[in-house]
Amino acid sequence: MKIQSSTQWSNLYSNALKYNINVRISLYKLAIYSLIAILTALVILVSFTFHYGLALGLAVVSIISLSLLLSVRNNKPITSSFTLTNTGGIEFDNDKISYQLLAESRLSFIGCWLVLIPNNSVATQHSYSAKKDPRQLFIFRDSLHEQDFSRLASVINQLE
């Protein structure tokens, strides 16, 4: 007895897997900018005035305040969202063009670096990437829910 292929069902299943990814304001971004500003102030303070005690006090206070800032839960309102398919297709809510994730997209402990090209046809993707740089987008990890980050991570890992 020969078993029939279920190609139609598998194609319907793969097209139906779409995830709505919500992006929030990142506290990591604020912490990194604050750290750069504090380090700049410390370098200026130490290099021009030699007040090491004041610089040390400023460093301790800033480390404590940055750690308190990062310990707060990120319950900020959603700033943007996009739809992600299991094949790497991305459609932004405010953009009419759909994009395709490339295998050059990366994940790290602080966030994910997305490399996108406009989703035309497969033949024009190679010519597009040769002519223009792809669109790049960095999303901090705390901007996404854990489930959204793991979905995005699994799609990026499948592309490799």
| pLDDT of the residue at 150 | 92
| pLDDT of the residue at 14 | 47
Q: Cα-Cα-Cα-Cα dihedral of 18, 80, 78, 25, to 10°? A: 120
* Residues 82 and 125 reside in one and the same domain: yes
* Residues 55 and 83 reside in one and the same domain: no
**Amino acid letter, 23:** V
Within a domain: 8? no
pTM beyond 0.85, yes or no = no
Please state, in angstroms and as integers, the Cα–Cα distance from residue 125 to each residue in 98, 121, 137, 160, following that order: 13, 6, 18, 17
* Residues 82 and 153 reside in one and the same domain: yes
| pLDDT of the residue at 3 | 55
| pLDDT of the residue at 33 | 86
* Residues 47 and 67 reside in one and the same domain: yes
Within a domain: 47? yes
pLDDT of the chain along its 160 residues, tens only?
A: 455 555 555 554 545 578 888 888 888 888 888 888 888 888 888 888 777 788 888 888 888 888 887 777 666 677 788 889 888 899 888 777 889 999 999 999 989 999 999 887 544 445 544 457 788 999 999 889 899 999 999 999 988 7
Q: Which domain holds residue 56?
A: 27-71
* Residues 82 and 155 reside in one and the same domain: yes
End-of-domain residue from the set 10, 37, 71: 71
Within a domain: 13? no
Within a domain: 100? yes
* Residues 137 and 65 reside in one and the same domain: no
The C-alpha atoms of residue 33 and residue 35 are separated, in whole angstroms, by 5
The C-alpha atoms of residue 133 and residue 80 are separated, in whole angstroms, by 24
Q: Find all residues with CB under 8 Å of 115, minimum gap 6, and list them.
A: 101, 102, 104, 105, 134, 135, 136
Within a domain: 141? yes
Domain count, the chain: 2
| pLDDT of the residue at 74 | 63
| pLDDT of the residue at 154 | 92
3-state secondary structure of 83: strand
* Residues 82 and 148 reside in one and the same domain: yes
Within a domain: 1? no
Whether 139 and 29 have beta carbons less than 8 Å apart is answered as no
* Residues 113 and 132 reside in one and the same domain: yes
pLDDT digits (tens, 9 = 90+) for 132-150: 778 899 999 988 989 999 9
Within a domain: 11? no
pLDDT digits (tens, 9 = 90+) for 106-130: 999 989 999 999 887 544 445 544 4
| pLDDT of the residue at 151 | 92
Q: Find all residues with CB under 8 Å of 22, minimum gap 6, and list them.
A: 78, 80, 81, 144, 145, 148
Within a domain: 9? no
* Residues 82 and 149 reside in one and the same domain: yes
